[in-house]
Structure 1
Amino acid sequence: MPTLNWIGKEKVVSHHQDVPYRVLEHKYGFTADPSAGLGREHTEPINSGNKIIHGDNLEALKSLLPEYEGKIKCIYIDPPYNTGNESWVYNDNVNHPKIKKWLGEVVGKDGEDLTRHDKWLCMMYPRLKLLHKLLADDGAIFISIDDNEQANLKLICDEIFGARNFVTNLIWRSADSSNNDAKQFSIDYNHTLIYSKDFGWQPYKLERTEDNNAHYKNPDNDPNGPWFMGNLSSPNPRPNLTYILVSPNGTLIKPPKNGWRWSKERMEEMIESKEVIFSSDQSKIIKKTYLKDQSGIVPSNIWWDLEDSGHNRNAKYELIKIFNELKTSDIFKTPKPTKFVEKILKISSNKNSIILDSFAGSATTAHAVLNLNKQDGGNRKFIVIEMEDYANDVTAERVKRVAKGYGSPPTPEGGEKNKKWVEGTGGSFDFYELGLALFDENQNLNEHVGLEKIREYIWFSETRTSFTEPNGENYFLGKKDESAYYFIYEKDRLTTLDYDSLELIKTKGEQYVIYADNCLLPKEFMAKKNIIFKKIPRDITRF
């Protein structure tokens, strides 16, 4: 398999392992009442599963691993396209001060010689590595990009996700009209590369439309209803399937150019069962595909219908309508329309899926999730990450307005104002900032993080389940699958697992996993009692 090399690659291929694990600091929760067009912020976490995170997406992705590794059904990202344009806040020439600082720390002096393509690849590679870890085995990632980095992105995704897990290059018509002022060619479309976690991933079918169904007719009044003439020809040349069929009246029916799709034995079975029939003059055979048997349509990899998938100008109008007092068009030059992301979610998620977007921008992905949940009563969850300072004022604010409703406020008498009001979708979320690193520079536990966050991390690392602080038992973390977990830790002194400390163990289990600084219990005794000792901090899992 061909691989891509660039200056700095050797410094970043394993960098995702060295990224510090930072805790998420809860800032506020938000709930919406769309019936009243109102929203409310809460001090305590809402715990709805929807998260908006402000911070470097590399570190934020790392912070998600304990709870979400292997659980994300669909990832959609719209990263910087690396066009060289630096005229707007979310610049895509990879010269953001945070990125430059990061490159200097990770890549070192080599970073001085990096081209913008090298920088972009250094920035993307570790993020894609973490996204791969978060993706579920039955999940898929969708990455929008243009021609500046499409070829490079394809090669590094082949390396990270596996070339056999490449699904397709989805072509989306992003412009609603051609640009006659273009210097060479009008750029009317973007790429969206799709990769699955495991080979064999299948997208969900899209709903059938009236246009799809219009191809099915019933000229012979078939009692099974409208039908469409199916293809009997092999998609590839099949010399061994070039047999001749004989109709009941003796007419010889020659095979198609590539041969028949099925063997002669299978074809005869289909004729016998009337899955395949002879035409009225018996000069050809027909395979009927019935409309009643069609549950949906397989998605195409060309999305050219502007009404069906939206376009960039449409997305700008959408933002202007939501933020009538904010100049979002100055920030987001080519936003994605919610229709486009909704269609992605329809083919890649179900009603209970978790969807992740680590380049959140104006929160189109979160908006699309809320729209779909309203449409079909789903319970999809979104996690979106934005590193820019507008994470709260734009990213989160859009979700608030979409959830509670926006536009001219509804009035009892109706009229023009009601026509301009967009009803809220409902929904809630928690807003987080990236906090302190869990481990200090010496790889010891950072006690400034707080014991609650440390205990939560230990529990996640062991069980991959949500943590609820137990009551009444010191050091006890919880019980799962008949295993009892204890974290014997004190800020100001070393702790020891010995016979005396076993008196702290009140919850019975088939197995005990106990963290402490030291252990004085004999190995034979621990084996007999099914005790697993883990040393602090050495044996704490590093994500």
Structure 2
Amino acid sequence: MYAKNKNTSYFNKIIERDLTKIRIDNIGKYFDGDSSPILASSTQGYSVGGDYDFEYNGKIYKPVDSKGNRRRWLWTIERMKAAAKLGILVETKTTLRVKNYIDKEFQVGTNVMVNKNENLIATSFDLMNSNFTNDKGTGEIEKIGISNFTFPKPQNLIEFCIKLATDKNSIILDSFAGSGTTAHAVLELNKKDGGNRKFILVEMEDYAENITAERVKRVIKGYGKEPENSATGGDFSFYELGDRLLEENGNLNEKVSIEKIREYIYFSETKEKCEQNDSDFLGECNGVAYYFIYKKDDITTLDFEYLAKLKKASSYVIYADVCVLSDETMMKYNITFKKIPRDIKKV
């Protein structure tokens, strides 16, 4: 996950966690078994200063991986000794790790334990929840009536993440939407707290329509007999992205259907769905009527003859190849002329 702003005041400070799994020792609070590696991975590079053998509880630990390759420790020997003295090292069969605390931090530089706000940091063990497992995700989409998708993420897990990092008016983007769990989580949260969160999902090919979009539709309308599966309400639009609208030379791409061009122009102008008919009229939004005069092999012209075809509206936005109307006429009829293809927004 990525945040545009890492300022912690933006994030929700209270993490909902299972307090029954928390343990306490002479240092602080921790989840049983929660630890982090001290041995550097192969991608973290090598340094002589981190290459040393270390004795702990009568056993020598070497910075080697499971294949016997020499690596390095992430810490200097001074930091390792300080951790050993504090008693926060965790022994495994082959190496050393460090215990993670919820309310304490082994501070870099000073090598002492300092207090931290336990509600600000989500640990990996916060996510080790029976409601966050893949089988839960599989069960959810089967109840919805979708069975041909492997390893779907559970809705509760994504809801947990969204609650940590958003407010009621946030927009959540999922670039690899899969079965549509993110949309499901957003819709459920909105139903629970009256929020106005929005989602943008991106998925490819048949998955997009047959799985992702289909799940969103069923969640909005409701599915099954259980009360928790009642309709969330809300709405969404489905759009297909294909060939580039404009070629590199700026001309309209002839591979793109006229219907797609019409739909794109009107949506980019108004964020509304286009009128699906064969006329030049695209639709009307907020009193403005939109027209797209286009023929593949002919020059299209906005002239006096065309004015007679316009439906009555407070103003007009008209796309054409050429406009021969005077400025006075344009002002009289509140017409904005947009030249094809120059004034079609590039994608």
Normalised by the length of structure 1, the TM-score is 0.37
Equivalent residue runs for 1:407-486 within 5 Å: 423-426=228-231, 433-462=240-269, 464-469=270-275, 474-486=279-291
**In structure 2, which of residues 311, 320, 338 is the aligned counterpart of residue 506 of structure 1?**
311
Deviations 1:99-120 (A, max 9, x none): xxxxxxxxxxxxxxxxxxxxxx
* 1:395/1:512 CA distance change after superposition, 3 Å: closer
- Which piece of structure 1 moves more, 375-384 or 475-484? 375-384
Q: What secondary structure, in the 3-state scheme, does the structure 2 residue paired with 1:458 have?
A: helix
Deviations 1:446-482 (A, max 9, x none): 34432232222222333x331341879x422334444
Deviations 1:314-335 (A, max 9, x none): 4225235447888955x87x99
CA distance in 2, matches of 1:380, 1:525: 44
Q: What secondary structure, in the 3-state scheme, does the structure 1 residue paired with 2:316 have?
A: strand
CA distance in 1, matches of 2:265, 2:342: 12
Paired residues of 1:459 and 1:477 also in contact (CA < 8 A): yes
Q: What secondary structure, in the 3-state scheme, does the structure 2 residue paired with 1:534 have?
A: strand
* 1:395/1:176 CA distance change after superposition, 3 Å: farther
Amino acid at match of 1:518: V
Is residue 535 of structure 1 aligned with residue 339 of structure 2? yes
CA distance in 1, matches of 2:344, 2:205: 32
Deviations 1:413-450 (A, max 9, x none): xxxxxxxx895243586766533322234332234432
Paired residues of 2:180 and 2:212 also in contact (CA < 8 A): yes
Give the CA deviation at 1:514.
2.0
CA distance in 1, matches of 2:209, 2:267: 27
Paired residues of 2:265 and 2:344 also in contact (CA < 8 A): yes
Is residue 383 of structure 1 aligned with residue 200 of structure 2? yes
Amino acid at match of 1:449: V
* 1:379/1:183 CA distance change after superposition, 3 Å: same
CA distance in 1, matches of 2:214, 2:267: 30
Equivalent residue runs for 1:86-101 within 5 Å: none
Deviations 1:67-111 (A, max 9, x none): xxxxxxxxxxx3xxxxxxxxxxxxxxxxxxxxxxxxxxxxxxxxx
CA distance in 1, matches of 2:129, 2:339: 54
Give the CA deviation at 1:357.
2.2
What's 1:349 paired with?
168
Gapped regions of structure 1 (runs ≥ 5): 1-77, 79-141, 144-156, 190-298, 411-420
Identity %: 47
Q: What secondary structure, in the 3-state scheme, does the structure 2 residue paired with 1:437 have?
A: coil
Instruction: Indicate the structure with greater strand content.
Output: 1
* 1:357/1:379 CA distance change after superposition, 3 Å: same
Q: What secondary structure, in the 3-state scheme, does the structure 2 residue paired with 1:349 have?
A: coil
Amino acid at match of 2:249: N
What's 2:160 paired with?
340
CA distance in 2, matches of 1:425, 1:495: 51
Give the CA deviation at 1:348.
0.8
Structure with greater contact order relative to length (CA < 8 Å, sep ≥ 6):
1
CA distance in 2, matches of 1:187, 1:360: 35
**In structure 2, which of residues 19, 34, 46 is the aligned counterpart of residue 178 of structure 1?**
34
Amino acid at match of 2:242: G
Give the CA deviation at 1:368.
1.7
Give the CA deviation at 1:536.
0.2
Amino acid at match of 1:475: D
Amino acid at match of 1:404: Y
Amino acid at match of 1:368: A
What's 1:222 paired with?
none
* 1:514/1:362 CA distance change after superposition, 3 Å: closer
Equivalent residue runs for 1:77-476 within 5 Å: 78=1, 143=3, 157=4, 167=10, 177-179=33-35, 181=92, 183-185=95-97, 300-303=119-122, 310-311=127-128, 314-316=131-133, 317-319=135-137, 321-322=139-140, 328=150, 337-341=157-161, 343-344=163-164, 348-349=167-168, 355-361=172-178, 363-376=180-193, 381-386=198-203, 404-405=223-224, 423-426=228-231, 433-462=240-269, 464-469=270-275, 474-476=279-281
CA distance in 1, matches of 2:128, 2:247: 46
Paired residues of 1:401 and 1:424 also in contact (CA < 8 A): no
Give the CA deviation at 1:538.
0.5
CA distance in 1, matches of 2:273, 2:313: 19
Gapped regions of structure 2 (runs ≥ 5): 19-30, 36-89, 102-117
CA distance in 1, matches of 2:253, 2:291: 19
CA distance in 2, matches of 1:388, 1:186: 45
CA distance in 2, matches of 1:327, 1:524: 60
Give the CA deviation at 1:525.
3.9
Paired residues of 1:176 and 1:313 also in contact (CA < 8 A): no
| Alignment coverage as a number of residue pairs | 254
Normalised by the length of structure 2, the TM-score is 0.53
Amino acid at match of 2:34: S
CA distance in 1, matches of 2:189, 2:299: 52
CA distance in 1, matches of 2:138, 2:258: 45
CA distance in 2, matches of 1:327, 1:469: 34
CA distance in 1, matches of 2:32, 2:148: 24
Amino acid at match of 1:178: D
Amino acid at match of 1:301: L
* 1:164/1:354 CA distance change after superposition, 3 Å: closer
Paired residues of 1:171 and 1:302 also in contact (CA < 8 A): no
Amino acid at match of 1:466: E
CA distance in 2, matches of 1:498, 1:376: 53
Paired residues of 1:369 and 1:381 also in contact (CA < 8 A): yes
Give the CA deviation at 1:517.
0.5
CA distance in 2, matches of 1:518, 1:433: 30
